[in-house]
Amino acid sequence: MRGDNGDSRLPPERDRLPPFPRGPVLAVLALILLHFALVIWRIEHFPDWEWLLRDGGLLAGSTAQQPWRLVTSLFLHVDFRHALWNGVSTLVFAVPLITYLGQFRAALIYFGAGIGGGIAALSAAPAGTLIVGSSGAVAGLFGAWVVVRLRSARYAEITWRVRMRAAGIGLLVLPALLNPVTPAGQPISVSSHLGGLFSGMLVGAVISRGLLPRDERPFDDEDEEEPDFFTR
């Protein structure tokens, strides 16, 4: 059997898997390792974890005077399980976004959603409530993934299997975003998730509109297919 490129030793171009996104995966793993390192450092040097988290986390009623907390809180987690869950979720959605948009644009989505989620959490939390974690930023990555996926679908035929896959991912993610407590009974800031989700969708829409103009195809050559990193 001869491939589309004329080489009989290669499978047809449409049957090949996309290359492994080594760079994006390494970038996200570095972020996850940083989160783990901060948890270890806090446990080793500050057994009274609340003291450190209160210095860097969001504190309802005080963050307006210390806006840098909207960023530092994204790197702090209560324990390894908290960091692991957010890290795995980041890996799932950040890798395709980095592959498709680049590290800079994906970072804009991450921090934009994290800050938006933090503001939403502070607006809904009673004074003195401590909020830490990157789940608002992760929710924003999911929102941007949905927006960019729908944007790229304008130029590609969406099969029934791909639609079912996207719906399944949504059904898995949305309940987690709306769950107010962890399995251990600890409270979760749903407002942070929703604020991050909508912030990520907004930033993703702005970025994808700039990347893929509405009235033009992303490729000049009509015979060249758009790379689809979101459906394989």
Residue 12 lies in a domain: no
pLDDT at res. 216: 43
Cα separation, 81 vs 74, in Å, equals 15
For the beta carbon of residue 206, count every other beta carbon within 10 angstroms: 16
Band of residue 37 on the pLDDT scale cut at 50, 70, 90: very high
Burial 66-94 (b: 16+ CB within 10 A, else e): eeebbeebbbbbbeeebbebbbebbbbbb
Band of residue 174 on the pLDDT scale cut at 50, 70, 90: low
Kindly state the DSSP code that residue 208 receives in the 8-state scheme: H
Helix, strand, coil share of the chain (percent; to 5):
65, 5, 30
Per-residue pLDDT at 152 exceeds 80:
no
Q: What domain range includes position 67?
A: 21-211
Residue 51 lies in a domain: yes
Cβ-contact 125, 131 below 8 angstroms: yes
CATH number at residue 120: 1.20.1540.10
- Tens digits of residue pLDDT in 197-216: 999 999 998 987 755 444 44
Per-residue pLDDT at 38 exceeds 60:
yes
Tokens encoding 70: 């909207």
- Counted domains in the chain: 1
Of 169 and 83, more confident:
83
Residue 2 lies in a domain: no
Percent of the chain surpassing pLDDT 90: 33
User: Range with the lowest mean pLDDT among 5-14, 17-26, 168-177?
Assistant: 5-14
Per-residue pLDDT at 18 exceeds 80:
no
pLDDT at res. 218: 40
Residue 226 lies in a domain: no
Give the HSE-up count for residue 103: Cα atoms under 13 Å, Cβ half-sphere: 10
Of 37 and 172, more confident:
37
Per-residue pLDDT at 42 exceeds 60:
yes
Residue 67 lies in a domain: yes
101-128 average pLDDT score: 92
pLDDT at res. 225: 42
**Which has the closest alpha carbon to 70: 88, 56, 87?**
56
For the beta carbon of residue 21, count every other beta carbon within 10 angstroms: 16
Let me know if 185 is exposed, middle or buried by CB neighbors in 10 A (0-12, 13-18, 19+). exposed
Cα separation, 228 vs 91, in Å, equals 18
Per-residue pLDDT at 35 exceeds 80:
yes
- Tens digits of residue pLDDT in 45-98: 666 656 667 788 888 887 777 888 999 999 999 888 889 989 998 998 999 999
Cα separation, 27 vs 106, in Å, equals 11
User: Range with the lowest mean pLDDT among 31-45, 66-80, 164-178?
Assistant: 164-178
Of 220 and 91, more confident:
91
**Which has the closest alpha carbon to 218: 151, 147, 157?**
151
Please, what is the average pLDDT of the chain? 77
The beta-strand segments (E) located in the chain are 58-59, 130-131
pTM of the model: 0.76
Residue 223 lies in a domain: no
pLDDT at res. 137: 96
User: Range with the lowest mean pLDDT among 3-12, 38-47, 143-152, 199-208?
Assistant: 3-12
Cα separation, 96 vs 231, in Å, equals 10
Residue 195 lies in a domain: yes
Q: How many residues does the chain have?
A: 232
Let me know if 124 is exposed, middle or buried by CB neighbors in 10 A (0-12, 13-18, 19+). middle
